[in-house]
């Protein structure tokens, strides 16, 4: 009976089953009954008529509600069937692969789309790894991850989702969309600037016919190269070209390591007209104006590093360097030195005071350059402050500062980084000498304070890290030292100013002497001209030698390091100091220099623990090995024949392995390129 009542109740309209609606019906029924009873009391005929109408209304309402309920149930049933059927059809027909497996990774079900990748093979009941090892590996790696991943499987690209709680795998074939994205990326435009580094110097003594032949060769070589990779090349000037290329072409050129640089350099050298090329290439943005600006910035970076190389960099990425295997040729002229000197004078005259600082742990070239700038500022009637951190200096620099105490005007100009920050104003001028990386300045805070009023004078190759908006840049990698560059400027300073004094001349000559390894390396005619000027200005070679004298402890430490030498790769020497002994960086550099005097050694590396607990690497070369590239790969920099880097949180043995691996990688790339 209860089941029959439940069945009848289920046949009632769903609205009647609602308690609130049922209460409304009861209320209406009571009111109707009350109305009929009242009608009978006043007029029985009206009461009968009203009662009949009420009964008919109730019957009609119940019938209508039953009909509506029946239609609603039928609609819901049909809708549920269609949804269920659609779900089944979707699982069977949709272009998404599905696999359901058990805890033992046996396949319990796979939809037809997934089965199509297995052909006619019956996969049900088999372990996934027995059906496809690659797919099983992907599932194992992604179990527990709730995110989608893109994989390469069966020559297709899939977006895969592994729901380990349901033992289900979903694979969406996105091959077509990946190809569209790849095509979009490959067809993005890159903009390049090509510059012939030493065109004016090489063509100056040539006849018009020889210049024309040389121009034709370079133009044809670049045109053939650009046509080979499907690029657009336009000559803007005799020594300047504009390049447009797809990123796809750029990738192919990078794989080729820009071999056109080597071919042009080698071919023109055989003709006794050695020309080198520099390029700056930018990509990664839809705004061509920004790409053009970035390409010019990349070219400036390549030229600042000495030329004969390529810098490839997107607007928000890291720079990639190619070439730079040769020592930079001399491209500076006395005309440029005069222009830089005059521009510096104007900037000083527009400033209320001048600050000059070298790199942290300054050497003689760095401090000598600071003294030279102070003298130039004084010649222009400007107060100049030399920023020095006395807690971070070598013995030779300490001796120089001790000697400077006898010159009150120099001693009073030497201040600490904290004092410099207090004195700096918005109209102050800051000169960074012997370095161009703000991160290695004596006071990085001062760099940040005066970041919009910075002048850079340096002889090292420019690195990727560089101030954003320097007011004047004078970087000449060919120069032996920064002191050489500054010594040339004195000729173009106001002659009524007090000339350079003995201590300043001695310090600057010592800077040149040390950086050229006693005039044995990186010396040109201009180097000897600068040295001659400083000598005539009163430089005392005896005092210079006293600055550079080392104490017994450093002498013994250097000899001890040399005794640890080991040879590798046939022409390279390496010293690895003890991890529990702190070595002075000057001592380590001297040991690296000493190794080059050994027969058959073309490059030397010394790895030591420094007093600041960093592991320092000093690299030296005769020029046969480009140690700058090696040091840059390890986070440092330098010249082709001299470089260094510092590494934190590693032992000397770990750094040794990094060095060996870096050298091996660079040699492998050169072999593959050849």
The CATH number assigned to the domain holding 570 equals: 3.10.310.30
135 is a domain residue = yes
Do residues 359 and 263 both lie within one domain?
Answer: no
328 is a domain residue = no
pLDDT at 499: 82
Domain boundary among 120, 148, 179: 179
> Which segments of 549-606 does DSSP mark as H helices, in order?
552-563, 585-595
| pTM greater than 0.85 | no
| Summary count for the chain: helices (H), strands (E) | 26, 23
Do residues 556 and 642 both lie within one domain?
Answer: yes
- CA–CA dist 138, 76 (Å, integer): 42
Say how many domains are in the chain. Answer: 5
Angle at 254 between CA 252 and CA 259, to 5 degrees: 100
Do residues 556 and 539 both lie within one domain?
Answer: no
626 is a domain residue = yes
Do residues 138 and 65 both lie within one domain?
Answer: no
329 is a domain residue = no
438 is a domain residue = yes
Supply the range of the domain harboring residue 564: 552-673
Q: What CATH number does the domain containing 345 carry?
A: 3.90.1640.10
Domain boundary among 323, 342, 361: 323
184 is a domain residue = no
Do residues 107 and 249 both lie within one domain?
Answer: no
pLDDT at 87: 67
Domain boundary among 130, 157, 179: 179
Give the count of beta carbons closer than 10 Å to the beta carbon of residue 557: 21
Q: What CATH number does the domain containing 251 carry?
A: 3.30.70.270
Structure tokens at 389: 């951190």
Do residues 310 and 261 both lie within one domain?
Answer: yes
CB–CB of 439/448 below 8 Å? no
Low-confidence stretches of the chain (pLDDT beneath 70): 1-22, 81, 85-93, 325-334, 495-497, 550, 670-674
397 is a domain residue = yes
Do residues 453 and 419 both lie within one domain?
Answer: yes
Do residues 110 and 167 both lie within one domain?
Answer: yes
Do residues 522 and 403 both lie within one domain?
Answer: yes
Mention every residue, 6+ apart, whose C-beta is less than 8 A from residue 516: 480, 481, 522, 523, 527
- CA–CA dist 158, 445 (Å, integer): 50
């Amino acid at each position: 009976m209860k089941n029959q009542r439940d069945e009848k109740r289920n046949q009632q309209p769903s609205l009647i089953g609602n308690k609130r609606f049922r209460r409304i019906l009861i209320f209406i029924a009571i009111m109707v009954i009350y109305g009929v009873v009242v009608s009978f009391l006043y007029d029985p005929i009206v009461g009968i008529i009203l009662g009949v109408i009420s009964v008919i209304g109730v019957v009609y309402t119940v019938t209508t509600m039953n009909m509506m309920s029946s239609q609603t149930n039928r609609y819901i049933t049909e809708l549920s069937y269609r949804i269920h059927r659609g779900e089944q059809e979707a699982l069977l027909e949709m272009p998404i692969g599905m696999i359901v497996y058990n805890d033992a990774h046996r396949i319990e079900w796979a939809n037809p789309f997934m089965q199509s990748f297995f052909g006619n093979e019956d996969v049900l009941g088999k372990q996934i790894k027995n059906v496809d090892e690659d797919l099983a590996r992907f599932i194992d790696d992604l179990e527990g991850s709730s995110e989608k991943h893109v994989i390469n499987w069966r020559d297709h690209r899939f977006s895969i989702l592994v729901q380990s709680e349901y033992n289900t795998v979903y694979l969406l074939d996105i091959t077509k969309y990946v190809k569209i994205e790849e095509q979009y990326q490959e067809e993005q435009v890159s903009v390049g600037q090509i510059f012939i580094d030493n065109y004016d110097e090489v063509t100056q003594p040539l006849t018009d016919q020889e210049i024309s032949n040389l121009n034709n060769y370079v133009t044809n070589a670049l045109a053939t190269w650009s046509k080979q990779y499907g690029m657009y090349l336009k000559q803007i000037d005799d020594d300047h070209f504009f390049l447009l290329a797809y990123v796809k072409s750029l990738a192919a050129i990078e794989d080729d390591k820009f071999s056109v640089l080597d071919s042009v350099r080698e071919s023109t050298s055989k003709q006794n007209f050695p020309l080198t090329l520099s390029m700056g290439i930018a990509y990664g943005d839809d705004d061509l104006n920004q790409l053009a600006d970035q390409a010019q910035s990349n070219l400036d970076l390549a030229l600042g590093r000495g030329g004969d190389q390529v810098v490839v960099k997107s607007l928000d990425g890291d720079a990639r360097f190619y070439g730079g295997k040769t020592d930079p040729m001399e491209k500076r002229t006395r005309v440029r030195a005069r222009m830089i000197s005059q521009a510096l004078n104007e900037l000083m005259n527009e400033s209320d005071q001048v600050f000059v600082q070298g790199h942290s742990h300054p050497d003689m070239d760095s401090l000598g350059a600071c003294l030279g700038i102070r003298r130039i500022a004084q010649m222009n009637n400007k107060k100049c402050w030399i920023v020095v951190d006395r807690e971070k200096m070598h013995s030779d620099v300490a001796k120089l500062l001790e000697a400077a105490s006898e010159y009150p005007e120099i001693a009073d100009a030497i201040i600490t980084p904290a004092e410099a920050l207090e004195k700096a104003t918005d109209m102050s001028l800051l000169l960074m000498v012997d370095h161009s990386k703000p991160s290695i300045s004596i006071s990085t805070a001062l760099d940040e304070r005066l970041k919009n009023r910075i002048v850079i004078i340096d002889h090292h190759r420019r690195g990727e890290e560089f101030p954003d908006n320097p007011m004047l840049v004078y970087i000449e990698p060919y120069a032996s030292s920064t002191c050489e560059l500054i010594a040339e400027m004195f000729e173009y300073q106001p002659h009524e100013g007090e000339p350079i004094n003995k201590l300043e001349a001695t310090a600057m000559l010592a800077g040149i002497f040390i950086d050229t390894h006693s005039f044995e390396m990186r010396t040109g005619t201009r180097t000897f001209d600068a040295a001659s000027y400083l000598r005539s200005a009163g430089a005392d070679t005896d005092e210079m030698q006293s600055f550079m004298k080392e104490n017994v402890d450093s002498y013994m430490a250097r000899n001890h390091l040399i005794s640890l030498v080991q040879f590798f790769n046939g022409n390279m020497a390496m010293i690895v100091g003890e991890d529990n002994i702190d070595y002075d960086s000057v001592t380590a550099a001297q040991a690296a220099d000493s190794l080059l005097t050994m027969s058959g050694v073309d490059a030397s590396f010394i790895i030591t623990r420094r007093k600041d607990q960093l592991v320092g690497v000093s690299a030296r070369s005769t020029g046969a090995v480009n140690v700058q590239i090696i040091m840059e790969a390890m986070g440092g920099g330098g010249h082709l024949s001299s470089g260094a880097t510092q590494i934190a949180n590693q032992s000397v043995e770990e750094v040794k392995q990094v060095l060996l691996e870096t050298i091996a990688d660079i040699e492998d790339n050169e072999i593959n390129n050849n």
